[in-house]
A and B are shown apart, each in its own frame.
Chain A
Amino acid sequence: MPNPDSQAPGTAGPDAPGSDSVGIVTPQTARFEEPLLLACGRELVPYELVYETYGELNSSRSNAVLVCHALSGHHHAAGYHSADDRKPGWWNEYIGPGKPIDTNRFFVVSLNNLGGCHGSTGPTSINPASGKPWGPDFPPLRARDWVHSQRHLADRLGIACWAAVIGGSLGGMQAMRWALEYPERVKHCVVIASAMKLSAQNIAFNEIARHAIQSDPDFAEGRYLEAETIPGRGLALARMVGHITYLSDDAMATKFGRDLRSGSLEQGVEGSVEFQVQSYLHYQGSQFSGSFDANTYILMTRALDYFDLAREYGDDPVAAFRHARCSFLVISFSTDWRFSPARSREIVDALIAADRPVTYAEIDAKEGHDAFLMPIPRYRDLFAAYMQRVGTD
């Protein structure tokens, strides 16, 4: 789940000479006036999708790649918004000139999903019926709703068929849904650190996150914008729990160990003690609570929980994947316990049984679920090798 703060250091800035960055990018907005029928039965109209593009669409319109974001992600996947922007987009390691999703070759589209809080229509938008922010009244969404809205964006951009639909975590779920909903519009489906459905343990973690937000008195039953408050403590707590699950035991041991940030545990010394990991979690929590909408977090975690690839196919993943027409790349990471390699193997086994072309690798990485955002040589080389093939198919 994209965590902009775990960006690796050393990425070239927007003005760096010989930069492998897409440089300065400007988000765009697509407005849709035709109603979108949602899985819950309600219609959303009008709605807006904020997106960025990197690279050039070729004359045959055959080099377009869709990047689907994860739980806390957004449209800003690569490059910088201004010359003094400190941090690049959340997948800058993998999108850019000469990178696996090579912008010299591909036209990359990255959007903020519906229900998001970074510009696309969501709980912080004004509900035209009431003139007030949607808040908790924003319709519940499923991954398939995002896929359907992304299809309208593809139509708007004149893209009849994606060379690849790519996503990690919740983004991988959207990529798989694309392969089933619009089989004729996807040539390659790249599913990274994802699953066909969440486990009970996974849903349980999401419930803790939601409960933390809903228990914050400032949540005001979800109408905090009208009450002019922000459930910052709840959001921070939700993020802290989530963050622990995105890292591995090893990664936390390496990064923080038992190092102290302040105080002393020596006998005879009184006073409070703070471990480095405590300070890190508090920082992550407060950063997040200042930049993310609580209702969006609840909506997105529910979409994760409700996702079940094969539900509409008799609960049979093999039957589901028989609808796909594309080739698949599936990648997992050895220490990812939130979306474990076993979940990816289930995807691969179903694809094999459905006789679909599939490539699979389990990358040895200590970073846990967050590994999918990290610069890991084997991951990068494999991803790049596969994208070469996408570019020539």
Chain B
Amino acid sequence: MRLDLTRIQPWIAPGSRVLDLGCGNGEFLRRLQQERQVRGMGLEIDPDNITAAVGRGLNVVEQNMDEGLANFPDQSFDTVVMAHALQAVHYPDRVLEEMLRIGRESIVTFPNFGHWRCRLYLGSRGRMPVSKFMPYTWYDTPNIHFCTVRDFEALCAEKGIRILDREMVGNTDRQPVLASAWPNLFALTAIYRLSR
């Protein structure tokens, strides 16, 4: 279980309805079901992940977010979650708008491209960062829309999206102070709780 998912859990009310966009193998949703008794549904496109999530007893729909979410009615979920997928969709702004149409609240996590290591890598080598955390080469990567913490908050401001909460995760647990004080430099992962 990834660290950012642990931080998300307290924001989800027991018994609520949760839609998980890009639910992977269903680990997170399964845990929410067990610990928060949520009524969950996952969206996923990877066949093996779908089978794994079904094996966990979850409701999973094979659907590509890039082809829209129009089949989900307005305000039909309490929370719409998208963990580490914002940077991989074709239109992150439209997906955000759709998430807030479908859910009362949304939770979004993404890797912060403004992290000092990314900057150092790009600044010193002049090449796109490749690391354990971002392991892809620029020409062969699912991550087509990297952004920084500041970029994301600017988008929220532009779209009139309210930031209810944010949590910053540093590259080690020893650095929460740095990540909270200067998120755009020290947060490896940014976690936002949003509403209209």
Distance to closest chain A CB from B34 (angstroms): 14
| Complex CA–CA separation, A152 to B74 (angstroms) | 41
Residues of B within 8 A of A355 (CB): 76
Closest Cβ–Cβ distance, residue A177 to chain B (whole Å): 22
Known contacts A361-B47, A381-B51, A382-B51; is A392 also within 8 Å of B57 by CB? yes
CA distance A360 to B62 in the complex (A): 6
**For the complex, is A315 an interface residue (Cβ under 8 Å from B)?**
no
By a CB distance below 8 angstroms, the chain B residues around A361 are 47, 50, 60, 62
> Is residue A352 contacting chain B, with contact meaning CB distance below 8 A?
yes
Assess the B61–A359 pair: CB atoms within 8 A: yes
Residue B172, interface by CB 8 Å:
no
Name A382's contact: one of B54, B59, B71 (CB within 8 Å). B54
Q: Judge if A389 is at the interface, Cβ distance under 8 Å.
A: yes
Cross-chain contact B55 with A327 (CB below 8 angstroms): no
- 0 or 1 for each of A307-349: is its CB under 8 Å from B? (1 = yes): 0000000000000000000010000000000000000010011
Residues of chain A with a CB closer than 8 A to B39's CB: 357
Chain A residues closer than 8 Å to B54, beta-carbon distance: 359, 382, 385-386, 389
Complex Cα spacing A15 to B76, Å: 54
Asked whether, in the complex, the Cβ of B71 is within 8 Å of the Cβ of A352, the reply is yes
Across chains A and B, the number of contacting residue pairs, with CB separation under 8 Å, is 52
Task: Give the distance to chain A from B40, nearest Cβ to Cβ, in Å.
Answer: 10
Residue A253, interface by CB 8 Å: no
Q: Which residues of A lie under 8 Å from residue B50 when comparing CB positions?
A: 361, 382
Q: Which residues of B contact A378 (CB under 8 A)?
A: 47, 51
Give bound CA distance, A361 to B51, whole Å. Answer: 9
The answer to whether A385 and B47 have CB atoms under 8 Å apart is: no
Q: Is the CB of A357 within 8 A of B51?
A: no
A389 to chain B, nearest CB (A): 5
The complex places the Cα of A361 from the Cα of B48 at a distance, in Å, of 11
User: Closest B-chain residue to A388, C-beta based?
Assistant: B55
Cα distance A348–B41 in the bound complex, in angstroms: 13
Query: What bracket does the count of chain B residues touching chain A fall in?
Result: 10 to 19
Find chain B residues with CB under 8 A from A349 CB.
Answer: 71
| Complex Cα–Cα for A362 and B62 (A) | 7
Q: Which of A353, A358, A382 contacts B61 (CB 8 A)?
A: A358
Distance (Å) between the CB of A361 and the closest chain B CB? 5
A-chain residues with CB within 8 Å of residue B71 when the two chains form the complex:
345, 348-349, 352-353
- Write out the residue numbers on chain A whose beta carbons fall within 8 Å of the beta carbon of B52: 385
Q: Which of B38-72 contact A (CB under 8 A)?
A: 39, 41, 47, 50-52, 54-55, 57-63, 71-72
Chain B residues with CB under 8 A of A389: 54-55, 57
A349-B71, A355-B76 known; A327 vs B51 contact (CB < 8 Å): no
Known: A352-B71, A382-B54, A386-B54. A327 touches B59 (CB 8 A): yes
Asked if B62 contacts A385 (CB within 8 A), the reply is: no
Expressed in whole angstroms, the minimum distance between the Cβ of B47 and any Cβ of chain A is 5
In the bound assembly, the distance between CA atoms of A17 and B85 in angstroms comes to 49
Give the complex CA separation of A151 and B50 in angstroms.
Answer: 33
Return A270 CB to nearest CB of chain B, in Å.
Answer: 52
Chain A residues within an 8 Å CB radius of B76: 352-353, 355
Closest chain A CB from B18 CB (angstroms): 13
Does B73 lie at the interface of the complex (its beta carbon under 8 Å from any beta carbon of A)? Answer: yes
* Residue in B51, B57, B61, B73 whose beta carbon sits within 8 Å of that of A348 in the complex: B61
Specify the chain B residue showing the minimal Cβ separation from A346: B71
Residues of B within 8 A of A358 (CB): 41, 59, 61
Q: Are A360 and B55 in contact (CB under 8 A)?
A: no
The answer to whether A357 and B59 have CB atoms under 8 Å apart is yes
B51 touches A385 (CB 8 A): yes
In the bound complex, residues from chain B placing their C-beta under 8 Å from that of A381 are 51
- Write out the residue numbers on chain B whose beta carbons fall within 8 Å of the beta carbon of A327: 59
Chain A min CB distance to B59 (Å): 5
A328 to chain B, nearest CB (A): 9
CA–CA, A229 and B71, complex, Å: 53
Give the most central of B41, B51, B52, B73: most A CB within 10 Å. Answer: B51
Q: How far is the CB of A102 from chain B (nearest CB, A)?
A: 14
Q: Can you sample 26 A-B contacts with CB below 8 Å?
A: A327-B59, A345-B71, A348-B71, A352-B41, A352-B61, A352-B73, A352-B76, A353-B73, A353-B76, A357-B59, A358-B41, A358-B59, A358-B61, A359-B54, A359-B58, A360-B63, A361-B62, A362-B62, A364-B47, A382-B51, A382-B54, A386-B54, A388-B55, A389-B54, A389-B55, A392-B57
Given contacts A348-B61, A352-B76, 6 further A-B contacts (CB under 8 A): A327-B59, A359-B59, A361-B60, A362-B62, A382-B51, A388-B55
Measuring CB to CB, which residues of chain A are less than 8 angstroms from any residue of chain B? 327, 345, 348-349, 352-353, 355, 357-362, 364, 378, 381-382, 385-386, 388-389, 392
9 A-B pairs closest in CB distance: A385-B55, A349-B71, A385-B54, A360-B61, A357-B59, A361-B62, A389-B57, A382-B51, A381-B51
